[in-house]
Amino acid sequence: MDKSELLETIEKLHEHLASAQHVDEDSARQLRDVTADIHRLLDDGQESSSDSHSLATLLRSMVLSWEADHPKAAELIGRIANALSNTGI
């Protein structure tokens, strides 16, 4: 997944969250914070593999908490985590 696909997937995730019912506010805030960190990492142009690894690890742990109630969000979160790991962003 290239940078534009990653950003598109993040946008899909935000759209899904906006239309989802019964999203825990703390979880949604944490997810918004993580995606904001990804945007900063991409925008800075000084991509760090340790930063991307940390974000990917955090996102993978979030998949478990979202899986039962929001499987589509969990799928998108997993795709974003995999993209971070695979591209070394």
Q: What is the pLDDT of residue 89?
A: 56
Rounded CA separation 16/2 (Å) = 21
Q: What is the pLDDT of residue 63?
A: 92
Q: What is the pLDDT of residues 6-52, one digit of tens each?
A: 999 999 999 988 888 888 888 888 888 998 988 888 887 655 567 77
Distances (CA, A) of 68 to 9, 36, 48: 20, 24, 32
